Structure 1
Amino acid sequence: MESGLVVVYVTAPRGKGAEIARRLLEERLAACINIAEVNSMYWWQGRIEEDKEDLLVIKTTVSRLEELIRRVKEIHPYTVPEVVALPVIACLGDYCRWAREETNPQRNA
């Protein structure tokens, strides 16, 4: 059962997540975005860093994924933003249909 959806994780500086989310939603690149505050630890330029970040959990379609990734790279303040997409192998049929409808680029026309 293929849903045609993906969940994309994007981290951003604390307080920037809502700005990024709103732009992606306005451009119909996502149907829904959850934002959670997280404490992140990661390697960067040879050191372990620790930051408070916003975690965006983005629901979109496979067909909109490439454009979403391109757009995140354009508007994100990080040099190398985290953009990790995971396939949705199943979801509630009504939710899948809703997400596909909301990410239809013709919806704004």
Structure 2
Amino acid sequence: MPDTLPVLVLSTCPDEASADAIALALVEERLAACVTRIPGARSTYRWQGRIEHATEIQLLIKSRVTVYGALMKRLTELHPYELPEILVVEPRDVSEPYLRWVNEQTPDR
């Protein structure tokens, strides 16, 4: 199995309970090698014609391209938002030991 570069998937959650449930499910199901939760993110956005403000939990989901389709499907199923943020960032470079670890944690499906 060739190693593939990891991806960083960004998503936000409304509370700790949903963030914890999503993080646990994605790691248990081997769709993510790691999910970092950063509380206290403050978002301002336009939704249904109004400007909204929300305090959210920012998720940093470390995965890889070969499982991204399954990750996106599962994240959408688990997420409490009608329109969850799912933003993928591809790194320009990554350390070899970290690359190996991410690939070991997220096997091809």
TM-score w.r.t. the length of structure 1 is 0.91
2:57 aligned to which of 54, 59, 68: 54
Aligned to 1:39, the other structure's residue is in SS state: strand
Partners of 2:46 and 2:107 lie apart in 1 by 37
Q: Kindly, what percent of the aligned residue pairs are identical?
A: 38
1:90 aligned to which of 86, 89, 93: 93
Q: Where do 5+ consecutive residues of structure 1 fail to align?
A: none
Post-superposition offset of 1:104? 1.2
Q: Which residue of 2 aligns with 1:17?
A: 19
TM-score w.r.t. the length of structure 2 is 0.91
The CA RMSD over aligned residues, in Å, is 1.5
What is the identity, as a one-letter code, of the residue corresponding to 1:8?
A: V
Post-superposition offset of 1:105? 5.4
Conserved? CA contact 1:28–1:105, under 8 Å: no
Deviation sequence 1:49-76 (CA, Å, 0-9, x none)? 1111111001101001111000011111
Q: Which stretches of structure 1, 4 residues or longer, exceed 2 Å deviation after superposition?
A: none
Range that drifts further, 9-18 or 93-102: 9-18
Partners of 1:84 and 1:20 lie apart in 2 by 16
Conserved? CA contact 2:64–2:106, under 8 Å: yes
1:35 aligned to which of 9, 28, 37: 37
Q: Where do 5+ consecutive residues of structure 2 fail to align?
A: none
Q: Which residue of 1 aligns with 2:82?
A: 79
Aligned to 1:29, the other structure's residue is in SS state: coil
Post-superposition offset of 1:90? 0.7
